[in-house]
């Protein structure tokens, strides 16, 4: 795709353009390297894209009403896609992200109360405490200091989900998971056999994925915690793990088994930190390119917080901060692709979709579709002012998906992203290191391929210097 901006707008980082003519082998390699690089300008404009990989057809649906049909109105006819399950199940087991049918419904009912606004409000002090710890580390560095902000955000969100889930037992777990997630994303990529739905047992023989063992150490620690908690259920803190162990299905059916709790824990751990950290990394990148937006954000922070640490109650007043995050997830949606598979044949936008076909919905394409977004390549948080947002089709913006399988952690993630942004932006400005390459890379999530190397500038020191100079 081209990176066109208006005359004043900076050109934003984009994936490499697709090659004009590629063999099946080349396009598969490109897809494994960076799933976003397969799309040219025409794909952003299209309502539906039909592709063929040997005998299998793939439909990319890129029109709000049709997306509503698949994700909501006719959701009962669509399961998660086989390819997605193959990518996630070896690590996550059968947690909420990968389960289907009655098992999924029961787990969603059991887990919903742990993610409602009251519960999220309870996690807010953890979110700001972890951010303050990060700032204390930054404060101790000599200026100007350069750091990989993508790694710092990952570390912070990992600590937050870990403390929310395991309370005091968390730090030990963080150490084991950090490298595991990296290895997993870099190892588990879709191959031809997955895309063709060749049976899993055969795929594993012909092209085994070296995922075995990546999470062994993590599993052992979680198992130990579960056993300890199972032995003394009354003495436990009220963290997410305690809630999962104690949770009962409101429609009968009892508690989850140990294996079910393990799979949910791993799922929430993985789904619950990486995406939010990507959203924040891209937000810092975008703010660094747009000083006027950054100034407006600083003004809001000064007016609402005046230098103090934000609390959950402040979120309603930090409207611009939230718009900045929303616009960042429009341009760089952490979950760039959502996959489905119809159980029975369906018709979408005049196309017959056979049972079992690969149906993809790509926020990456949808959020930059020119007929839905004016100057789609420009970073403009004001698009998310209530009035302008209400004028758009509801299904034009879906960073958290939609319908019954909408992200259960959306409120958690937005609260976390706004609190982290507000806490850090009051104290630091982050500048992209000159010459640092930035490339959006579509793996399981949308990552900055080479990290996000940035220079930390202390805001208070700067304003003191300005005053002294004056
Ligand atoms: C900016 C951050 C996040 C983004 C962009 C995001 C995005 C998504 C999307 C698009 C889906 C739907 C996938 C589909 O329909 O196939 C999803 C599902 C899910 N997310 Fe998130 N997510 C984020 C943060 C979180 C957090 C913080 C948690 C947990 C603490 C979480 C847990 C989950 C779970 C468990 C599911 C599966 C829900 C179900 O199928 O019932 N996510 N997420």
Ligand 1 neighbour 271 (Cβ under 6 A):
yes
**What is the pLDDT confidence band of residue 5, given thresholds at 50, 70 and 90?**
very low
> How remote is the C-alpha of 292 from its chain's centroid?
26
Ligand 1 neighbour 335 (Cβ under 6 A):
yes
Q: What integer pLDDT is reported at residue 461 of this predicted model?
A: 43
**What is the pLDDT confidence band of residue 465, given thresholds at 50, 70 and 90?**
very low
More confident residue, 52 or 341: 341
Q: What integer pLDDT is reported at residue 180 of this predicted model?
A: 66
Ligand 1 neighbour 362 (Cβ under 6 A):
no
Distance from residue 414's CA to the centre of ligand 1 (Å) = 12
> Over pLDDT 90: what percentage of the chain?
56
**What is the pLDDT confidence band of residue 9, given thresholds at 50, 70 and 90?**
confident
- For residue 398, the ligand 1 atom closest to its alpha carbon is 10
More confident residue, 186 or 13: 13
More confident residue, 75 or 214: 75
Domains of the chain: 24-469 (1.10.630.10)
Q: Answer whether residue 177 shows pLDDT above 60.
A: yes
- pLDDT tens digits along 236-280: 557 778 878 887 776 766 778 878 888 888 888 888 888 999 999
More confident residue, 421 or 273: 421
Q: Which residue has the CA at smallest separation from atom 37 of ligand 1?
A: 97
Q: What is the pTM of this model?
A: 0.90
Q: What integer pLDDT is reported at residue 467 of this predicted model?
A: 41
Average pLDDT estimate for 367-380:
98
Ligand 1 neighbour 413 (Cβ under 6 A):
yes
Q: Which residue has the CA at smallest separation from atom 18 of ligand 1?
A: 407
Ligand 1 neighbour 288 (Cβ under 6 A):
no
Distance from residue 410's CA to the centre of ligand 1 (Å) = 7
**What is the pLDDT confidence band of residue 357, given thresholds at 50, 70 and 90?**
very high
Contacts for 2 with CB less than 8 Å, ≥ 6 apart? 14, 17, 41
Average pLDDT estimate for 72-82:
94
Q: What integer pLDDT is reported at residue 266 of this predicted model?
A: 82
Distance from residue 2's CA to the centre of ligand 1 (Å) = 29
What does the mean pLDDT of the chain come to?
Answer: 85
- Which of 252-266, 271-285, 355-369, 401-415 is predicted with the least confidence, judged by mean pLDDT? 252-266
Could you tell me which residues are beta bridge partners of residue 430? 456
Ligand 1 neighbour 280 (Cβ under 6 A):
no
DSSP labels, 120-151: HHHHHHHHHHHHHHHHHHHHTSPSSEEEEHHH
Which two three-digit tokens encode residue 80? Answer: 């998660």
The angle, 0 to 180 degrees and rounded to 10, between the axes of the packed helices 149-166 and 170-187 is: 130
ω into residue 436 within 30 of 0, thus cis?
no
Q: What integer pLDDT is reported at residue 400 of this predicted model?
A: 97
Could you tell me which residues are beta bridge partners of residue 15? none
Distance from residue 30's CA to the centre of ligand 1 (Å) = 26
Do residues 404 and 394 touch, judged by C-beta distance below 8 A?
A: no
Distance from residue 97's CA to the centre of ligand 1 (Å) = 8
Q: Which residue has the CA at smallest separation from atom 17 of ligand 1?
A: 407
More confident residue, 317 or 7: 317
């Amino acid at each position: 795709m081209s990176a066109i901006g208006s005359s004043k707008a900076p050109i934003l980082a984009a994936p490499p353009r697709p090659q004009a003519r590629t063999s099946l082998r080349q396009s598969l390699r490109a897809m494994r390297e960076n799933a976003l690089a397969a799309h040219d300008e025409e794909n952003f404009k299209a309502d539906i894209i039909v592709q063929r990989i040997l005998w299998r057809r793939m439909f990319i649906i890129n029109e709000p009403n049709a997306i509503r049909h698949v994700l909501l109105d006719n959701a009962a006819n669509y399961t998660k896609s086989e390819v997605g399950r193959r990518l996630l199940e070896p690590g996550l087991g059968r947690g909420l992200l990968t389960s289907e049918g009655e098992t999924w419904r029961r787990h969603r009912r059991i887990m919903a109360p742990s993610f409602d606004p009251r519960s999220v409000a309870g996690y807010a002090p953890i979110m700001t405490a972890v951010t303050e710890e990060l700032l204390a580390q930054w404060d101790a560095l000599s200026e100007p200091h350069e750091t990989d902000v993508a790694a710092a955000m990952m570390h912070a969100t990992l600590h937050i989900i870990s403390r929310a889930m395991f309370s005091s037992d968390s730090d030990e777990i963080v150490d084991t998971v950090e490298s595991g997630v990296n290895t997993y994303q870099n190892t588990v990529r879709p191959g031809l056999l997955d895309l063709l739905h060749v049976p899993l047992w055969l795929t594993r023989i012909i092209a085994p994925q070296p995922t075995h063992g990546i999470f062994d150490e993590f599993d052992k620690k979680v198992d130990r915690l579960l056993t300890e908690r199972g032995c003394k259920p009354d003495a436990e803190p009220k963290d997410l793990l305690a809630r999962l162990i104690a949770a009962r299905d409101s429609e009968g059916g009892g508690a989850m088994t140990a294996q079910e709790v393990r799979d949910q824990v791993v799922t929430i751990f993985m789904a619950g930190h990486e995406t939010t950290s990507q959203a924040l990394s891209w937000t810092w990148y975008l703010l660094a390119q747009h000083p006027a937006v950054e100034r407006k954000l600083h003004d809001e922070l000064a007016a609402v917080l005046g230098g103090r640490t934000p609390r959950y109650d402040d979120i309603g007043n930090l409207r611009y901060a939230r718009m900045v995050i929303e616009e960042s997830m429009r341009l760089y949606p952490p979950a760039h692709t959502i996959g489905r598979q119809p159980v029975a044949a369906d018709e979408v936008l005049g196309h017959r979709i056979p049972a079992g076909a690969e149906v993809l919905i790509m926020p990456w394409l949808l959020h930059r579709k020119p007929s839905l977004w004016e100057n789609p390549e420009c970073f403009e948080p004001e698009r998310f002012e209530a009035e302008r947002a209400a004028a758009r089709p509801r299904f034009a913006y879906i960073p958290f998906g939609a319908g019954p399988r909408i992200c259960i952690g959306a409120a958690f993630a937005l609260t976390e992203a706004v609190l982290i942004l507000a806490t850090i932006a009051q104290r630091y400005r982050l500048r992209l290191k000159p010459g640092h390459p930035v490339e959006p890379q579509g793996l399981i999530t949308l990552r900055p391929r080479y990290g996000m190397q940035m220079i930390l500038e202390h805001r208070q020191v700067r304003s003191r210097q300005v005053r002294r100079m004056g």
